[in-house]
Chains A and B, each alone.
Chain A
Amino acid sequence: MTRREYTDQVLSGLRRLTGPEREAVRAELDAHMEDHICDLLDLGYDEELAEERTMQRMGDPEEVSRELNKQYPMRWLILKWAAMALTAALVLMLLTRVEWGVVKENLMTRFWPSQWYTYEETYEFLNGDDTDIRVEIGATTVRVCAARVTEIQPGTNWAELFPGDRYLAVVVVRPYRTSLLELGRAPGGGILPFLANRTTGPLRGIKPGIICCP
């Protein structure tokens, strides 16, 4: 076994150590072996024998590795990973201007949706104020934050969009995406006309509209 093989074997078991800590262990063991070999060379050993004797004196690399690993508590490494992940998430949010609340809501909806509706069923909740509902509309998935039936006020944009209608079902949605980077961006303009065409179901006669909030 060579010096390099010995330190490689010791380092292979040091799972609790960070990269720099592992390299420090390698340097320390390597310096030790070099010192020992130099002393033996001074005594007249040839190079090969000096290295062989030194390796014998070092002991079982697996035992050294196992015992060294024990000296480094796992919790620090976990804490370090957690801190790094948190920092990365914060930086990402600052860069993409995503709010914590939106991220949390989207994650909750992704993994623990309280309700699930298909597009065909969307009219069933338009009378209420349900939130946390995921709806698939075509290729886009949106998260419904609120839904209500409202009276169309004359002179508003809604009145222009739905001339002759008195009531409007308003669905407030946020885009739902799996990627954090895409959170917070309003979905494309295709949703409003899509919903506006729906005039069947329990809310017959009331035109549905949709408000997208970024």
Chain B
Amino acid sequence: MKKKQNIEHTQLLVLSLLSNEDMYGYQMIVELARRSDHTFEMKEGTLYPVLHGLEKDGYVEAYQQEAPTGRMRKYYHLTRKGGAMLKTETEAWESYAGAVNAVLRSSTGLTMA
């Protein structure tokens, strides 16, 4: 790889989730499990250190909003800096995945879809 991966995969997945809409923590867990067909099922509490780290670094910002049940929820919003990071890291990830696929193809002799 040309460049060192700057962020962890969980952070990348979180930024990606937030690229379409603002979400709160539990919603992200549910969405992540749904979209990955339950491949990504993390220990839910460990999401929050990731979110607070992204907030500290300015990739996301948080705000409080009242849920229909009356409970206050902390929503996270992707910042411009976070959007730029998501773009860079997605490209880096795709190039990495492409390289892994190319090696797998050549070593196994299989034709990949």
Contact = CB atoms under 8 A, between A and B. Distances in A.
Tell whether A pairs with B. yes
A61 B45 contact: yes
B83 interface: no
Interface stretch (B12-20, B48-56, B85-93, B97-105): B48-56
A48 interface: no
B43 A57 contact: yes
A64 B52 contact: no
B74 A34 contact: no
* Among B25, B48, B53: residue with most chain A CB under 10 A: B48
Interface string A50-89: 0000000111110110011011110000000000000000
Contact of B24 (A31, A71, A73): A31
Contacts of A73: 56
A97 interface: no
Contacts of B56: 71-73
Interface stretch (A20-28, A118-126, A132-140, A143-151): A20-28
Nearest to B49: A67
Contact of A32 (B26, B42, B72): B26
Nearest to A36: B26
Contacts of A72: 52, 56
A196 interface: no
A25 B48 CA distance: 9
B49 A68 contact: yes
A29 B49 CA distance: 11
Interface residues of B, number: 18
A10 interface: yes
Contact of B52 (A34, A35, A60, A71): A71
B44 A57 contact: yes
B52 A68 contact: yes
Contact of B48 (A29, A57, A60): A29
A71 B53 contact: yes
B53 A35 contact: no
Contact of B49 (A57, A58, A70): A70
Q: Which of A63, A64, A73 has the most CB of B within 10 A?
A: A64
B48 A59 contact: no
Contacts of A63: 43, 45-46
Contact of B45 (A29, A31, A35, A70): A29
B74 A24 contact: yes
Interface of B: 24-26, 29, 42-46, 48-49, 52-53, 56, 71-74
